[in-house]
């Protein structure tokens, strides 16, 4: 059984560009959550997807958007990148019925905005 | 809005010491509390989960307690080892969201 994987590992973009980050959830997991972790900070909840629908959102602007696909993999899209978007982006998947208890985290994508 | 604070921000101890990490939260209406470990540049690994109706959980050398009424949790690590060096994060679930603290960076010196 493979764990949660994320791609790419690292990414460098410039201000104003758009970026797409990808997450493959663990087999059988139907809930995916995305977090932003700035350097020296704890993860901040961006949003959660359950069976292809957004199922909760943190305090992030609309330029942060997401998708979940029928195979439960997910994308995080960020438009009009800003310098403050530089962070480690983590996704986490949860088995059915456990999304408030159990999250398996991927290794993250390190995004640098210049 | 739920706010989670962790003290201290960093801690350095010699191998073999017992230590306590602290976590406090402002809204006592939590569903559960978890302690995670994060190694540099890596994702998070869950260590202990305490449901809101529980007072403590134990796993090996780790013991976590929860006092919901006072908004506090502690993580006790017994007989620390160099392999315990990492950042330790606590998180509470309120509503349907996880709220994380800023973490305690632990260094165990051989």
Flag if A58 and B97 touch (Cβ within 8 Å).
yes
Q: What is the tens place of the pLDDT at every residue in B50-74?
A: 999 999 999 999 999 999 999 999 9
Residues 31-50 of B with CB under 8 A from A: 31-32, 41-46, 49
- Of A91, A114, A100, nearest to A37 by C-alpha is A91
Q: What is the tens place of the pLDDT at every residue in A52-72?
A: 999 889 999 999 999 999 988
% of chain B surpassing 70 pLDDT: 100
Minimum CA–CA partner of A102 in chain B: B46
Out of A42-51, B15-24, B94-103, the most confident range is B15-24
Tokens of A59: 């305090």
Flag if A90 and B91 touch (Cβ within 8 Å).
no
Listing DSSP states for chain B in one string gives: ---EEEE-SEEEEETT--EEEEEEES----SEEEEEEE-TTS-EEEEEEEETT-SEEEETTEEEEEETTTTEEEEEE-S--GGG-EEEEEEEEETTEEEE---EEEEEE-
Q: How many CB pairs under 8 A join A and B?
A: 56
pLDDT at A2 over 70: no
CB contacts of B21 in chain A (<8 Å) are none
């Amino acid at each position: 059984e493979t764990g949660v994987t994320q791609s790419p590992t690292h990414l460098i973009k410039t201000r104003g560009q758009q970026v797409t980050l990808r997450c493959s959830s663990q087999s059988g997991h139907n809930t995916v959550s995305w977090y932003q972790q700035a350097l020296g900070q704890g993860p901040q909840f961006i949003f959660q997807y359950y069976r292809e629908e957004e199922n909760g959102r943190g305090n992030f602007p609309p330029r942060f958007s997401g998708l979940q696909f029928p195979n439960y993999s997910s994308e995080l899209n960020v438009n009009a990148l800003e310098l403050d978007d530089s962070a480690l982006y983590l996704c986490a998947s949860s088995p059915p019925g456990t999304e408030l208890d159990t999250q398996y985290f991927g290794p993250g994508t390190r995004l640098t905005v210049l | 809005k739920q706010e989670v604070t962790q003290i201290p921000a960093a801690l350095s101890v010699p191998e073999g010491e017992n230590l306590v990490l602290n976590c406090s939260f402002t809204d006592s209406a939590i569903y559960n509390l978890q302690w995670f470990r994060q190694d540099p540049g890596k994702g998070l690994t869950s260590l202990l989960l305490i449901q809101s109706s529980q007072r403590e959980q134990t796993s090996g050398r780790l013991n976590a307690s929860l006092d919901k009424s006072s908004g506090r949790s502690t993580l006790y690590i017994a007989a620390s080892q160099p392999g315990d060096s990492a950042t330790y994060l606590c998180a509470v679930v309120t509503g349907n969201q996880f709220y994380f603290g800023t973490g305690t960076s632990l260094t165990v010196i051989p």
